[in-house]
Structure 1
Amino acid sequence: MKPFEFIAKLAPIATQDMRQYGVPASLTLAQAILESNWGTSGLTQKANNLFGIKGTGPAGSVTMQTTEYRGQTPYTVSAQFRKYNGWHESVTDHTKLILNGTRDKPMRYHGVLWADYKTAANEIWRGGYATDPKYPSKLISLIEQHSLYQYDLPNPKEEERMKIEQLTTELQKTQEQMRQLSEQYASSLKLLNEQGSTIKQMNARLTAVEASKPAKVPAWAEPAIHAAQEAKVLNDPAGSYDFYRIMTVLHRLGFFKADK
């Protein structure tokens, strides 16, 4: 099986387990690659055991040689490993081990849950999953080399927090827009009030001007108005007192002479 085929087969299972339980899909994939040598190890071929988990599985067990470490020194021992009916069972058992740990330390692997791939790689080793001191770096190398981190999902709590932050930011923007609109409204209202005041003043002045016009031509201005009409320089006799005064002065100066 080629690497891309191995990943394509296992990635959906690993992603589903992460969605349900929080075990990083990148960690599951990297461990499966490392422990099974891309599915070619004798343990995987004989027992569908992708992760080198010891004990008895749903399909029994097999005895295999394995390498352990005392500090930096490797040594080989025989051990009993779990046997599965398929890869899906192997992934499920791997997830259960991380969730339940061991009797003496049930939370020994909880540091990997919803962790980034580098943290998860170190926490699985720190919990005692493997004795190889280079185990974390090997996992991280595989994850980065094959971009396995792309299969990791965000922590629902972190995702919820990000959504809240996004909504808060949008709310703040909306509030700022409302504040600006409120200021624009207040400015427009002030301008309208000022314009209304100006119009009132103009109306008052026009009313005053209208009020200053006499209802008819004053008696003292009648000779001038008649003269202006006879001279055909005035059609409408209506006017203000100032108008009648000017017409009277012009009449006295002899400006209005009828045509002969």
Structure 2
Amino acid sequence: MAVFYSTQQFIAMLAPIAALNAAATGVPASLTIAQGILESSSGNSGLAASANNLFGIKGSGPAGSVLMPTREQRADGTVYTVNARFRAYNSWSESVADHSQLLARGVSWNRSIYHGALRTDGRSAARALQAAGYATDINYANKLIALIDRYQLVQYDQAKGEEPMTAEEKAAFDELAATVRQQAQLIASLTVSKNTLKDWLTSVDGRLKQVEGQAQLPAPSWFVDEFGTDDLDGLITNKSGSLDFWRTLAIVLRMRNAGLL
């Protein structure tokens, strides 16, 4: 039976993968998520279902390719449909990694063509992709920016001006990130059960307690607006922690609220 994802469920599942790729490649997580929503209909498109391809990248991928119809748009606005081969992946994680590498490495005739979209905010990155001719849709950037704003995707981007982590903080967060990466891959391939996710949440709880003690900051306003702080007793020891702690906790709570935990 086909699985249908709401946009909130899709964001909760994709955000950890996008954030990890952002750290490695400089592609803003907010841009990756917005493109995923737009290009794959929040993970529900035929291409996403048959090939785990979230971004409509053409060619042959780690799992081969699939032939699918696609809509293109000429410079004068005329829309037409053609059949094309699209890359197939074994998981959403592979799709995100390939998309990030495409933006970071460019194309054979211009390796820096998409560099304007790297290490910047999601809105600026969307405009840079439009200017570089990434998509034929003349409203592509505006559509991405609307999604970034509607779903407040900038919260998944690396905040500017943060103090660098100490070696101990980085070690603790790297361990947590590795756990999130493993579980995100399981979720993307739809082979994980709710019991497995609950076991993971128990494991992550201990790591959250380590991270929250490293920089005692009150809950950010975006976190309070979405979740409040009254129902956190039993989940965290203190109602303060590092910015990375609040981001990670937000991902866990969204997964819980989406029924994935």
TM (norm. structure 2) is 0.59
8 A Cα contact 1:18 1:24, kept in partner:
yes
1:12 aligns with 2:7: no
- Aligned twin of 1:37: 41
Kindly provide the amino acid, as one letter, of the partner of residue 64 in structure 1.
Answer: M
**Separation of aligned partners in 1, 2:50 and 2:117:** 29
8 A Cα contact 2:33 2:153, kept in partner:
yes
- Aligned twin of 2:106: 101
**Separation of aligned partners in 2, 1:21 and 1:102:** 15
1:75 aligns with 2:80: yes
**Separation of aligned partners in 2, 1:66 and 1:15:** 29
SS in 1 for 2:42: coil
8 A Cα contact 1:66 1:76, kept in partner:
yes
**Separation of aligned partners in 2, 1:52 and 1:38:** 13
Q: Shift of residue 114 of structure 1?
A: 1.1
**Separation of aligned partners in 1, 2:78 and 2:43:** 26
Q: Which runs of 5+ in 1 are unaligned?
A: 162-260
**Separation of aligned partners in 2, 1:160 and 1:2:** 35
- Aligned twin of 2:237: none
1:150-201 CA-partner distances (Å, limit 9, x unpaired) = 101035xx6579xxxxxxxxxxxxxxxxxxxxxxxxxxxxxxxxxxxxxxxx
**Separation of aligned partners in 2, 1:136 and 1:99:** 18
1:8-35 CA-partner distances (Å, limit 9, x unpaired) = 1000000111112210000000000000
- Aligned twin of 1:62: 66
SS in 1 for 2:71: strand
| Higher normalized contact order (CA 8 Å, seq sep 6+, divided by chain length) | 2
**Separation of aligned partners in 2, 1:126 and 1:62:** 29
8 A Cα contact 1:114 1:154, kept in partner:
no
Kindly provide the amino acid, as one letter, of the partner of residue 65 in structure 1.
Answer: P
Which structure shows the bigger proportion of residues in helix conformation? 1
Structure label with greater radius of gyration: 1
1:140 aligns with 2:124: no
How many residues align? The count is 159
Q: Shift of residue 128 of structure 1?
A: 2.0
Kindly provide the amino acid, as one letter, of the partner of residue 91 in structure 2.
Answer: G
TM (norm. structure 1) is 0.59
Q: Which runs of 5+ in 2 are unaligned?
A: 165-261
- Aligned twin of 1:21: 25
**Separation of aligned partners in 2, 1:82 and 1:38:** 18
SS in 2 for 1:58: coil
SS in 2 for 1:16: helix
Q: 4+ runs of 1 displaced by more than 2 Å? A: 158-161
Kindly provide the amino acid, as one letter, of the partner of residue 30 in structure 2.
Answer: S
**Separation of aligned partners in 2, 1:58 and 1:33:** 22
**Separation of aligned partners in 1, 2:162 and 2:26:** 13
SS in 2 for 1:65: strand
**Separation of aligned partners in 1, 2:113 and 2:57:** 15
**Separation of aligned partners in 2, 1:65 and 1:27:** 25
Kindly provide the amino acid, as one letter, of the partner of residue 22 in structure 2.
Answer: M
**Separation of aligned partners in 1, 2:105 and 2:69:** 26
- Aligned twin of 2:53: 49
1:64-104 CA-partner distances (Å, limit 9, x unpaired) = 11111111111111111000000000000001100111111
1:36-83 CA-partner distances (Å, limit 9, x unpaired) = 001110000110000000000000000111111111111111111000
**Separation of aligned partners in 1, 2:79 and 2:98:** 26
Identity of aligned residues (%): 53
Kindly provide the amino acid, as one letter, of the partner of residue 2 in structure 1.
Answer: S
1:85 aligns with 2:90: yes
1:127 aligns with 2:132: yes
